[in-house]
Amino acid sequence: MPAVQETIDQVRQIDVDQYKYGFETTIEMDKAPKGLSEDIIRLISSKKNEPEWMLEWRLQAYSRWQTMEEPSWARVRYPKIDFNDLHYYAAPKSTSGPKSLDEVDPELLRVYEKLGIPLKEQEILAGVEKSRIAVDAVFDSVSVVTTFKEELKKAGVIFMSISEAMREHPDLVRKYLGTVVPQSDNFYATLNSAVFTDGSFVYVPKGVRCPMELSTYFRINEKNTGQFERTLIIADEGAYVSYLEGCTAPQRDENQLHAAVVELIALDDAEIKYSTVQNWYPGDKQGKGGIYNFVTKRGDCRGKNSKISWTQVETGSAITWKYPSCILRGDGSRGEFYSIAVSNGHQQIDSGTKMIHLGKNTSSRIISKGIAAGVSENTYRGQVSAHRKAENARNFTQCDSLLIGDRCGAHTVPYIEAKNSTAQFEHEATTSKISEDQLFYCLQRGIPEEAAIALIVNGFVKEVIQELPMEFAVEAQKLIGISLEGSVG
């Protein structure tokens, strides 16, 4: 309940067109020259002191990428990206791998403070009420700090930047990297494989329930920089982990590219819960600037009775192209996808999921809530398929769209394919507008228009908000309110 109030307050405080996280920070940066070539990839690899096999892996991806073409099937439009006009590596100069918070540039800590991300462990520890979350902060191309490492270590959980993991746990990284999203998967994933700079690595050993929420905050700061992070999460047999991801970027006139790859692997009886609150800069009122968010996220329910659950709240980015998916390989495995996608202004979203049923008795559930305002386009694109051997595959899909105003668009594009006759797939879809009646009813109770819309929208997305960890649920509700501000009148 208080969240709604906060949403309203927040909306009031902020001018239309003002992105809260749009500040820029001046920090001395170590940058690679613009452009992409084998030399740049070698440079990235050497900057990160990577093992030789990693460099080869990157180069292999790069040569593959050169033969590929940008996909054009999504319902999004943007000018051609000049991939040679980007910096592929940018790192704060003073952070050559800090060991602890004391070694982190205080300016950087201030950035995260401004973003409301608690990096200071002692503060979190001091606050009795607050739940504890371990954070990995990624600034442009590198991870600047990971908190609570020691405590996690005691539980046997590995949580560190992927660059560190490559040096400290090369066998694990090598065993799993690229096994869910192969190098050649798609244009952006292949590009990412060649140039990814950092991201988080999580390994939860057999039978361990990760003692706290893990989280990564991504921040793009530098101009003309692409952010290519790579996250790899492995839950070994019977393990459980909940992971949160948040993202922001400064307000800039140019578009910035973000092409991440996330791979999740759940072995027998393991469970991974992955939540995202994506709030990259969406561009201004005229549609100038903003992040191109071209992301490949996929989970592999490799073991029997494993479970992977994606929850996403997408409010930012000029363009979002993103389909967090589950491969339901293990018998009895389960995949879930809960999504809220909010588009306002000139934003374009083409997002959804794929549930690929391979094993027997696998089940999946998709709940997607799209909210379109302004002149935005909001597309749900989802695929549910059952393999020949996927006996008793079950899927339930519910896809609801809410339109605010009459200049935006909502589209639902489902692909359903069952090669096994025992499969049962259900699909429900609705499109509605906030009705004049609802709005008038709220107004008549003394609730002003913007607050009324925030209230109605929060009601619309409630099913998904409930899936988010508590801390994120509040933030998500606020964000949705802010994103829709100025959408009426």
What type of residue is 121?
Answer: E
Per the DSSP assignment, residues forming a β-bridge with 340 are: 313, 369
- 449-460 helix and 436-444 helix, angle to the nearest 10 degrees: 120
User: CA quadruple 372, 375, 378, 379: dihedral positive or negative?
Assistant: positive
- Closer CB to other proteins, residue 277 or residue 442? 442
CB 8 to other proteins: min, Å: 8
Q: How many alpha carbons fall within 13 Å on the CB side of residue 430?
A: 9
Distance CA 178, CA 262 (A): 10
Distance CA 201, CA 162 (A): 5
What is the per-residue burial (b if ≥16 Cβ within 10 Å, else e) of 278-314?
bbbbbbbeebebbbbbbbbbbbbbbbbbbbbbbbbbb
- Closer CB to other proteins, residue 348 or residue 487? 487
DSSP-derived pairing of the beta strands 158-161 and 142-146 = unpaired
Report how far apart, in Å, the C-alpha atoms of 190 and of each of 43, 131, 225, 258, 454 are: 18, 37, 18, 13, 39
CB 4 to other proteins: min, Å: 6
* DSSP letter (8 states) at residue 178: T
CB 480 to other proteins: min, Å: 12
- Closer CB to other proteins, residue 4 or residue 43? 4
Distance CA 147, CA 464 (A): 28
- Closer CB to other proteins, residue 184 or residue 458? 458
Nearest to 260 by CA among 251, 243, 247: 247
Maximum Cα–Cα distance across the chain: 68
- Closer CB to other proteins, residue 207 or residue 448? 448
CB 445 to other proteins: min, Å: 4
Neighbours of 360 (CB within 10 A): 19
CB 86 to other proteins: min, Å: 42
Per the DSSP assignment, residues forming a β-bridge with 276 are: 245, 312
CB 130 to other proteins: min, Å: 20
User: CA quadruple 312, 248, 184, 180: dihedral positive or negative?
Assistant: negative
- Closer CB to other proteins, residue 127 or residue 448? 448
- Closer CB to other proteins, residue 181 or residue 456? 456
Helix and strand totals (H; E) in the chain: 13, 23
- Closer CB to other proteins, residue 214 or residue 454? 454
What type of residue is 382?
Answer: G
- Closer CB to other proteins, residue 171 or residue 437? 437
CB 340 to other proteins: min, Å: 12
Per the DSSP assignment, residues forming a β-bridge with 216 are: 136, 245
Distance CA 242, CA 473 (A): 14
Distance CA 291, CA 255 (A): 5
- Closer CB to other proteins, residue 326 or residue 434? 434
CB 398 to other proteins: min, Å: 13
Nearest to 165 by CA among 202, 216, 211: 202
CB 343 to other proteins: min, Å: 20
CB 9 to other proteins: min, Å: 10
DSSP class per residue in 443-471? HHTT--HHHHHHHHHHHHTHHHHTTS-HH
- Closer CB to other proteins, residue 390 or residue 452? 452
CB 369 to other proteins: min, Å: 10
Which residue ranges make up the site for other proteins (CB under 8 A)?
1, 4-5, 435-438, 440-449, 451-452, 455-456, 458-463
